[in-house]
Structure 1
Amino acid sequence: MSLFAWLRPSQPALDAAQQQRLAQLPGPAPLQDHTLRAQRWVVLDLETTGLNLNRDQVLSIGAVVIEDGAIDFSQQFERTLHRHDHKPGPSVLIHGLGPSAIAAGCVPADALLDLMAFIGDSPLLAFHAGFDQRMLSRALKDSLGYRLQHPFIDVAELAPLLNPDVVLRDAGLDDWTAHFGLQAGERHHASADAQVTAELALILFSQARRQHIDSPLLLEHRLQGWRRRRQHSHGF
């Protein structure tokens, strides 16, 4: 084996059908200047074995769609991933995914192909999106050799941007849902968390329109400015 072959990362072993599906996945569309209502959004939540971005694995994926200014309940996604080497850790007390659920899960490559077909070219919303983005990116690379390039917007940043007078230090999803009087269902379940995140996002989109921020592209620009001001105020 040559040195270059040794250094080159190995590609996932995909069968012909999986390779064909991978080749047919649409690429991401850039954020547009049309209205927020005109954009199809996919709201994503992951349950994982833990919070280590380099070691832990995705166990389940939940996603819902916001389209035409509402949650489209005909477009929902849920998968539990099979992990043959999974050993239950402390996180099982949070997400409740025991060995039997993981053993009955989908082949990760197929589940992730299903997810990316569901997402299509849409941008993604998540609460603490950086974590979901990095965990999903690694899962896609490891299982499919796929590079995730879809735009992510973090609902955890969007909420304080649009509500500067609300003081919620280190606010989590439960804090913001309680603030707006939303009734969260089964928490720490990927599909339920995706749905309540979508409900929160719709409230925030309504606030954004009232603040004359009515396009995905403008929303991202405002978030970038908010991040810069926040970093400056913290002396970073």
Structure 2
Amino acid sequence: MNPISALFARLQRRPLQLDDHQRQRLQALPPPPRLDAPLQEQRFVVLDLETTGLNVNRDIVISIGAVTIEAGAIDMAQQFECTLRRQVEVNEAVLIHGIAPSELANGEPPAEALLSFMEFAADSVMLAFHAPFDQRMLARALKNELGYRLEHPFLDVADLAPMLFPEVLTRRGGLDHWMNYFGIDIAQRHHASADALATAEIALILFNRARRMGIERVDKLAEQVRCWQRARQASLNSI
């Protein structure tokens, strides 16, 4: 970046509005986890974001829902749900999520909501369905609101499912597809906390299959996913 572009970027950047207590909390966040823990022992945070749209460079996060998996089970006592205070137009995306404009107007300040979520996530591995989207949206929100660089590892349940259950289909299916296949019934689809719970239930089934296949550790599962992704891409390229 040349000096003029760098100067313009600095001028465009909104100064962070954090108080002293928030800065202390930000400094106290733990580092991201190592990946060499057994699947049965690793704490996972299963995340779902509701956003104003699907453009990772323009749209914004309006709701965060998350549940935890610990000791191989969903811990219903550890859940996170928060609507962010936003001033947005009521578009189709907002209507699908069922979030009223009054909820957005009365939501948590974005910096406080995101800081609270990262305290909840702590040093967990994050899981999501179509994880690259949630990862990029969360990373941009954290950078803009907190000046925080997201380094937590993510695993994509949308890739884990067809990798571990190749007999079901040869391409990626949506969340509804896998919910139907595994017989999972969750109310309020397209609601962040409900989608996170559905994803967590699928993840437990996938972890059980992975262990039966001899994949016991998080890093080994992540390595298997990378190999599967490369093989899948090579197959698509050969068509």
Q: Same fold (TM over 0.5)?
A: yes
1:94-173 mapped onto 2 (5 Å cutoff): 94-167=96-169, 169-173=171-175
**Corresponding position of 1:219:** 221
Q: Please list every run of 5 or more consecutive structure 1 residues that lacks an aligned counterpart in the other structure.
A: none
Does residue 30 of the first structure (1) align with residue 34 of the second (2)? yes
Query: What TM-score do the two structures reach when normalised by structure 1?
Result: 0.95
Distance in 1, matches of 2:30 and 2:98, equals 33
For residues 121-146 of structure 1, what are the alpha-carbon distances to aligned partners after superposition, in whole Å with 9 as ceiling and x for unaligned? 11100000000000000000110010
| 1:37 CA drift (Å) | 0.7
| 1:10 CA drift (Å) | 4.6
The letter for the 2-side match of 1:25 is L
| 1:6 CA drift (Å) | 3.9
Aligned residue-pair number: 233
Distance in 1, matches of 2:194 and 2:223, equals 29
Q: Is the 8 A contact 2:158 2:172 kept in 1?
A: no
Q: Is the 8 A contact 2:111 2:145 kept in 1?
A: yes
**Corresponding position of 1:190:** 192
Tell me which of 208, 231, 234 is aligned to 1:232.
234
Q: Is the 8 A contact 2:52 2:61 kept in 1?
A: yes
The letter for the 1-side match of 2:50 is E
**Corresponding position of 1:175:** 177
For residues 144-196 of structure 1, what are the alpha-carbon distances to aligned partners after superposition, in whole Å with 9 as ceiling and x for unaligned? 01000000000000000001111264410000010011112210000011011
Q: Is the 8 A contact 1:11 1:145 kept in 2?
A: no
| 1:44 CA drift (Å) | 0.3
Aligned residues: CA RMSD:
1.5
Q: Percent identity?
A: 56
SS at match of 1:47: strand
Q: Please list every run of 5 or more consecutive structure 2 residues that lacks an aligned counterpart in the other structure.
A: none
SS at match of 2:30: coil
Distance in 1, matches of 2:15 and 2:218, equals 35
Distance in 2, matches of 1:215 and 1:138, equals 29
Query: What TM-score do the two structures reach when normalised by structure 2?
Result: 0.93
